């Protein structure tokens, strides 16, 4: 499985399929990637804030691929004439060979995008199973039920916000790693702007002191390949730990 941090909370996950999450590109100071440069099979959007919804409409329409999001936000994508999969927290969908489970996130979700009036449902995260298991936390505070997410899924990679101010900071995200027990954690949602300035090495130090998880600090645009053992996720036994 290959994971590319595009910048901020935008990732391209390449497993059985190519899954693009939170494609905030055009106004994102940390990337020069443009919407027409990305090819993928589906787009997952964690919540309605513009630094996550980003360029999802343009990307999905150009490639005629579905946008996966919570039902209320999905109504906006319907209105924008995208293919949509609108589901809700706790639910799972299968798109192509990828299973996506929507998780809670402790955060708000709003309407700072043209055409998206009122509330855009709740903020969410995703567990994405596609030849490996990736948890994208979205924007969230630390919450105790991350332990449940970690016990229900053998997470290969957790993508966690560390920037503080709008989300968890590095210390809180390190506690999240203790609950989630992923093999690898990758920090996101930091240093895009001044209010979310953070030092990812603090996160790495805390995580690697307290857990067996390895932290991989990426630069925007950087990819890593992760050996997930090659087996179909569904064949893995769970709960995962004693």
From 36-44, 46-54, 210-218, 226-234, span contacting Ni ion (CB under 5 A):
46-54
Verify binding: residue 22, Ni ion, rule CB under 5 A: no
Distances (CA, A) of 37 to 6, 22, 26, 55, 72: 12, 15, 12, 12, 28
| CB 86, min distance to Mn ion, A | 21
One-letter-per-residue 3-state SS of the chain? CEEEEEECCEEEEECCCEEEECCCCCCCCCCCCCHHHCCCCEEECCCCCHHHHCCHHHHHHHHCCEEEEEHHHHHHHHHCCCEEEEECCCCEEEECCEEEEEEECCCCCCCCCCCCCCCCCCCEEEEEECCCEEEECCCCCCCCCHHHHHHHCCCCEEEEECECCCCCEHHHHHHHHHHHCCCEEEEECCCCCHHHCCCHHHHHHHHHHHCCCEECCCCCCCEEECCCCCCCHHHCCCCCCC
- For Mn ion (CB under 5 A), the number of binding residues is 2
Out of 22, 139, 156, 233, point to the residue binding Ni ion (CB under 5 A): 139
Q: Which does 14 bind (CB under 5 to 8 A by kind): Ni ion, Mn ion, none?
A: none
CB-wise, 97 or 112, nearer to Mn ion?
112
| CB 50, min distance to Mn ion, A | 9
From 47-55, 170-178, 192-200, 218-226, span contacting Mn ion (CB under 5 A):
47-55
Return the residues of window 128-147 that contact Mn ion according to CB under 5 A: 139
| CB 136, min distance to Ni ion, A | 13
| CB 62, min distance to Ni ion, A | 25
Out of 8, 49, 136, 189, point to the residue binding Ni ion (CB under 5 A): 49
CB-wise, 149 or 196, nearer to Ni ion?
196
| CB 31, min distance to Ni ion, A | 18
Which x/- pattern, by CB under 5 A, does the window 189-218 give for Ni ion? ------------------------------
Interface contacts to Ni ion, rule CB under 5 A: 49, 139
């Amino acid at each position: 499985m290959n994971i590319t941090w595009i910048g901020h909370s935008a990732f391209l996950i390449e497993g059985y399929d190519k899954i693009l999450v939170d494609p905030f590109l055009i106004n994102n100071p940390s990337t020069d990637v443009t919407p027409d440069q990305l090819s993928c099979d589906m787009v997952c959007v964690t919540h309605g804030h513009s630094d996550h919804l980003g360029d999802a409409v343009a990307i999905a329409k150009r490639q005629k691929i579905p946008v996966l999001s919570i039902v209320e936000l999905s109504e906006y994508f319907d209105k924008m004439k995208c293919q949509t999969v609108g589901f809700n927290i706790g639910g799972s969908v299968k798109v192509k060979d990828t299973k996506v489970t929507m998780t809670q996130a402790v955060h708000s979700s709003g309407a700072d995008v043209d055409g998206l009036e009122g509330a855009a449902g709740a903020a969410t995260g995703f567990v994405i199973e596609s030849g490996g298991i990736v948890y994208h936390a979205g924007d969230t505070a630390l919450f105790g039920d991350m332990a449940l997410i970690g016990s229900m899924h053998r997470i290969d990679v957790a993508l966690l916000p560390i920037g503080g101010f709008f989300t968890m900071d590095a210390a809180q995200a390190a506690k999240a790693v203790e609950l989630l027990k992923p093999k690898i954690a990758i920090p996101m949602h930091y240093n895009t702007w001044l209010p979310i300035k953070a030092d990812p090495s603090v996160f790495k130090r805390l995580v690697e002191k307290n857990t067996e998880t390895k932290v991989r600090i990426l630069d925007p645009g950087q990819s890593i390949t992760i050996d997930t053992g090659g087996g179909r996720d569904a064949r893995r036994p769970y709960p995962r730990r004693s």
